[in-house]
Structure 1
Amino acid sequence: MSDNRVWSYSAVLMGSPILLKLFTHDETLASRVFALIKRYEDLFTVNRADSQLMDINRAAGRHPVVVSRPVFELIKCAKAASMVHNSAFNLAIGPLVKLWRIGFKGDCVPPAEEIAARLRITRPQDVILDEAAGSVFLAQVGMEIDLGAIAKGFIADRVRDYLHQQGIHNGLINLGGNVQTLGTPQGNWSIGVKKPFAEADALVGSIEVVNKSVVTSGTYERYFEQDGKRWHHILDPRNGYPLDNELDSVTIISSDSLDGDIWTTLIFGLGVEKGCALLKQRDDIEAIFVTKNRDIILSSQRQFRFTPLDDSYRLTDSTV
């Protein structure tokens, strides 16, 4: 499809609609990009039995598993994020994800004793990495790595690198929640920030960026309702329940989508005040917070320009 010399290509991968925008008509290149995404999905998924990740999980408590370099490096990165003090990121959260089943048939609030039992097998320090052997060992039976919170960011960065290698320096890849922009073809790229719990095309604002990743995590993405309360999919590995604070969504603007994935989770776990305080130490990471009270809070605007689009939300353009 052509629109102002922009060609869009789409596919469904990783359980999401994938969109690739190019400023040249090249169906062969688009097919290669989608094949690259599929290759990485096959390595990282926990939703089918034959991935390298599932090989690791099946061997939990028994023996190490030698894996390919991309899998080892992504697990290494995910463990480092998980070991940050009081981190809301945890690569070993798999048993809790499976227990809650949020977004799948049969989701419900599990008994407290079952949550407590699963917490005992979600310790990231029990993911043992052997750099020389290229192997991963889960020290306790029942442990499961889940890279769902980080895999899309890694893949988006690999797609960007591949396009650069092919001489493509203007374009956009949207992996569903992870948007990676390349170049400045006709001014800045404009990326929408979704309005929580509203129609799919309803936005609270738009972001203009150049050569940046935009990653959003929101409580509205997957949830169920029970006993008059919403239970969303962003689980807190510190207590085993969905994160419960003032936030509906966090959007991270960064150079690499992998950083966006990590920081959306870290910042979601910290909340607005602590999140802004931490971001003051990072010139390369910025955040947009959307709260339950309909506030939009910008940590800063060094790498993007934000335009509000919904009058029912209040914009704060400075840190708390």
Structure 2
Amino acid sequence: MFASALRVSALAFNHYSTGVIPMSSVERVYSYSAVLMGSPILLKLFEDNQQAAQAVFHLIKQQEDMLTVNRAHSQLMTINHAAGLHPVVVSRPVFELISKAKTVSLMQDSCFNFTIGPLVKRWKIGFHGDTVPSPAEIQSLLPLTRPDQVMLDPQACSVYLAQAGMEIDLGAIAKGYIADRVRDLLQQMGIHQALINLGGNVLTLGTPRYGDQSAWGVGLKKPFAAPDALIGIIEVAGKSVVTSGIYERYFEQEGKIYHHILDPETGYPLDNELLSVTVISDDSVDGDIYTTLLYGMGVKKALHYLTTVPHIEAIFVTRTGQVILSSQRQFRFTLQDSDYQLA
């Protein structure tokens, strides 16, 4: 049970792929943690409220059970098992999330593809996979990764994968969606100052009660370094911070790194100038979506694209040690590592 992984402590700060930075405190901070969705989950409150923590972890467990592809009886796996056979009726929230994932997947030149499941399963990057598929294997799987072959019926709330062997995977969007649901639950419980870290998806409510601090400090992780090594600190209030980087899940073969961010056009890991993309937004689900979209675009195209979506801001970390900010309307960034420079 998820509750068995729960522990409570005061002022217990941890660092994950996007770290949370402790600031000088004049009030006690209660830190609740559990391991869910294969990641350490962290909730920070300014009151000892174990009932709220239990409700949060219960909600995450419930959502994970619906959306995972790692359990045979989740709603997602029921859809996948029926590929090429018949439509599957799902709950309205799952249908709407699938609909959103399809819309983003069908955007022009989108690197986001929720039907990429067969390729992810073959590569197994981050899941003890350390072999490169042959070109013939990749070519045989690419026809099964077409988002236009996912048929949605809003009236029946059903999903049908038109080809046998297709698999949808919401792993690139589920954490953000769940983080937003946790935020909504906390607000319904009257909690308006908190921090949620779903193993890298950091979502803040309000501002912290650290003296005169007006923002939460979120660490930007240094790629291919120790877990607590940071490039700098992102200060936000009431925002989501999501980072996606090639150092999160990868293997190396013959001097070449193969990471988990796959190009849906080629079936191989994307190869461009980026090490990571961090998105600052109101909703964490947008952070999930745009980290993938922007990574696929590369820096120049992404910076131009962001001028058309003012509610999204981004931080790009390049292979040459540059840190590029799209703007700083919703956050402030402080560089801390001399190996990198602000471009």
Same fold, TM-score > 0.5, yes or no = yes
Other structure's SS at 2:238 match:
coil
Using the TM superposition, give the Cα deviation of residue 7 of structure 1 relative to its aligned residue in structure 2, in angstroms. 0.3
- Aligned residue in 2 for 1:251: 278
Instruction: Find the residue that maps to 1:120 and give its secondary structure.
Output: helix
1:214-253 matches, cutoff 5 A = 214-253=241-280
Runs of 5+ in structure 1 lacking a partner?
Answer: none
Please tell me the residue identity of whatever aligns with 1:202. A
- 1:24 equivalent in alignment to 2:50: no
Letter in 1 for 2:124: R
Structure 2 counterparts to residues 95-174 of structure 1, below 5 A: 95-174=118-197
Amino acid at match of 1:254: S
Q: Take 1:185 and 1:112, find their aligned partners in 2: how far apart are those partners?
A: 51
Specify the code of the residue in structure 1 equivalent to 2:185: Y
Instruction: Write the distance in 2 (CA, Å) between the matches of 1:137 and 1:216.
Output: 32
Q: Following TM superposition, by how much is the alpha carbon of 1:70 offset from its aligned partner in structure 2, in angstroms?
A: 1.4
5+ long unaligned stretches in structure 2: 1-8, 12-26
SS in 2 for 1:190: strand
Letter in 2 for 1:182: L
Structure 1 segments of 4+ aligned residues over 6 angstroms from their partners: none
Q: Distance in 1 between matches of 2:178 and 2:233?
A: 24
Percent identity of paired positions between Structure 1 and Structure 2: 66
Counterparts of 1:255-274 in structure 2, within 5 Å, are 255-274=282-301
For these two proteins, the number of residue pairs brought into alignment is 316
What is the 5 A alignment of 1:87-98? 87-98=110-121
Question: 2:226: which partner in 1?
Answer: 199
Q: d(CA) in 2 for partners of 1:135 and 1:174?
A: 32
Larger relative contact order (Cα-Cα within 8 Å, sequence gap ≥ 6): 2
Aligned equivalents of 1:282, 1:192: Cα separation in 2: 24
Task: Measure, in 2, the Cα distance between the counterparts of 1:279 and 1:104.
Answer: 33
Name the residue aligned to 1:185.
Answer: 208
- Residues in 2 aligned to 1:95 and 1:281: alpha-carbon distance in whole angstroms: 33
Counterpart of 1:5, as a letter, is R
2:258 corresponds to which letter in structure 1? W
**Deviation (angstroms), 1:37:** 0.3
| Displacement after TM superposition at 1:50 (Å) | 1.1
Measured in 1, the distance between the counterparts of 2:125 and 2:84 equals: 26
How big is each residue's C-alpha offset from its partner over 1:197-219, in whole Å with a ceiling of 9 and x where there is no partner? Answer: 00000000110001000000010
TM-score normalized with structure 1 length: 0.98
What CA distance in whole angstroms lies between the structure 1 residues aligned with 2:30 and 2:277? 29
SS in 2 for 1:236: coil
> How large is the RMSD of aligned CA atoms in angstroms?
0.7
1:234-293 superposed Cα distances (whole Å, 9 cap, x missing partner): 111111000100000000000000100000000000000000000011111000000111
1:185 deviates by 2.6
Q: Deviations over 1:30-67 (max 9, x none)?
A: 01100000000000001111100000000000000000
The amino acid that maps onto 2:69 is: V
CA distance in 1, matches of 2:303, 2:177: 24
1:175 equivalent in structure 2: 198
Using the alignment, how far apart are the partners of 1:197 and 1:41 within structure 2?
29
